[in-house]
Chains A and B, each alone.
Chain A
């Protein structure tokens, strides 16, 4: 470990009466990283962020910022700032005064405020907008002002509560790139809350996947995508084919699973024979061949079916294949010389033993 964690959560629990929103959360966040709290609505991610901000008090547990216990400090005393989902920009103030709000409360000198606010507006590329009223801004511009208003206070941690949810898709992708640039320029730690797995994978150094008030898995976006540890994680991040079955035997590093359409070989071990398991195979890890061309060549890891439809999505093509056990999705980059498979073709979907992930829950 090079630097000590900037945020530490120990046993953070939040209940409303008998209802537990957060259950015993432990989490350490490194200085300067972008960490995303990802999960479906109601998983507790927003509550967890609000506990870090100080808007909610945890029922049990401690929150440390730069090693200092802030569990009992009100939000105005904590060195963190937040970008609200609907921005919450003050409509009675113009862009400059919104950004200057925090600095004025800290009684900074007029010239310093002018300098800092101007610099910050330039950072978010709104240098020309200082005199605009909030109602005169587009969604993307309001987003930038909200970002500037928070960052100008040089917080230890910047909290972003689904900041792009109100923007349309094109601007959202542009703002993600902007957030990354601003993160690089300021070096501030970002905690980012979202239910959108695309935002999470594009932006994050690490993702904390949450479900029902608990942490499901923590890892880099690629780890989470390639090595999900649970069915929930496999399904939540990206698309995946789930094949259920039971373990029939295990030899060394290989486990054999009966998936109802023959046996599948998985490069994993440690699961007892007879266990009910799921195999997760990503659509792009599937290989598709016409059945008559490959018949009799393989013994494992395939299922035959008929192409139900072909979905053209621009740079990629998705095939839905009806098989006796499940609907299988196969995805490939658009073939430059045209799509050769079509609806009704009898095909064999196969995959490598190390492309499938064995999940026990």
Chain B
């Protein structure tokens, strides 16, 4: 009887997870596996030649361009994630602890309702030579020539990526701060903690997972993004993401594109590892003992 119940629970659990698992299997794991296989193949004038070759990897790793582009993508990712988290945290704090309703939260989330491309074009309008910022500055007499640096620069890419990612980061941070119930904060104050000590010793470690999650998700999405840098990044804004997408869409060298995609994935994993190590080093990770 009891064993039957346990079996039933297992079956129901598996049945609930099955659709998601199947979806990921068919549309993610299998394509990723195929792509991984492709990365060892070779391409000659748009035709794929099955092989087991490391040529694609060595070609990428021996080119300075690949490193430069990867670095530029990582920079986009890092600054976007850093600004998004730093800007979202106070807003998340305000939403969770200072307001009763979620009005502000929804207002910020509403910006997600507009298309990604529309927002990229909107920033082109704002940042362009005849855009809102330049014309205003010229009319105020602060500059005589439009600032070219505003558009088609890593600055424009990061600004736009932050704008796109911010609601996402905020969503993750709000949900992780909701776990840090107000009574934990009261307990810390009761024990003599100042506002800063409450933040440092209770809120940060308790929202650690959400913080790492928010940073890494934003980082990976922004570092791998190839649309925003393409439209706003200019010549210096080229990233590995753009190069990978070119391999698939114009050059037709899928194996080389696949190899770079896996190198980028490996890079992200290394960055994730380094980030977590850094937080451990700063004594922010939970599950640590502070005594012998």
State A153–B188 Cα separation when bound (angstroms): 13
Asked if A92 is an interface residue, CB under 8 A from chain B, the answer is: yes
Give min CB distance, B279 to chain A, whole Å: 13
Asked if B98 is an interface residue, CB under 8 A from chain A, the answer is: no
Q: Do A88 and B184 have beta carbons less than 8 Å apart?
A: yes
Asked if B208 is an interface residue, CB under 8 A from chain A, the answer is: yes
- The A interface, classified by DSSP as helix, strand, loop or mixed, is mixed
With contacts A75-B186, A84-B183, A90-B202 known, is A153 near B191, CB below 8 A? yes
Q: Mark A127-166, 1 if CB is under 8 A from B, else 0.
A: 0001101000000000000000110010000000000000
With contacts A75-B186, A88-B186, A91-B206 known, is A97 near B289, CB below 8 A? yes
Cβ-closest chain A residue relative to B194: A76
Asked if A4 is an interface residue, CB under 8 A from chain B, the answer is: no
State A130–B189 Cα separation when bound (angstroms): 23
Asked if A102 is an interface residue, CB under 8 A from chain B, the answer is: yes
Cβ-closest chain B residue relative to A85: B183
Asked if A55 is an interface residue, CB under 8 A from chain B, the answer is: yes
Give min CB distance, B231 to chain A, whole Å: 42
Number of B residues, CB within 8 Å of A = 24
Asked if B291 is an interface residue, CB under 8 A from chain A, the answer is: yes
State A75–B187 Cα separation when bound (angstroms): 10
Chain A neighbourhood of B197, CB < 8 A: 105
State A75–B286 Cα separation when bound (angstroms): 26
Cβ-closest chain A residue relative to B181: A88
Give min CB distance, B197 to chain A, whole Å: 6
With contacts A88-B183, A96-B289, A100-B291 known, is A82 near B190, CB below 8 A? yes
Q: Do A105 and B186 have beta carbons less than 8 Å apart?
A: no
Interface residues of B in 203-259 (CB under 8 A from A): 205-206, 208
Q: Which listed residue, A84, A89, A106, A131, touches B186 by the CB 8 Å rule?
A: A84
Asked if A114 is an interface residue, CB under 8 A from chain B, the answer is: yes
Closest 4 CB pairs of A and B: A92-B286, A102-B191, A88-B187, A88-B183
Additional 14 contacts, C-beta under 8 A, given A88-B183, A92-B287, A102-B191: A53-B190, A75-B190, A76-B190, A76-B191, A82-B187, A90-B184, A90-B187, A90-B188, A101-B188, A105-B192, A130-B291, A150-B190, A153-B191, A153-B192
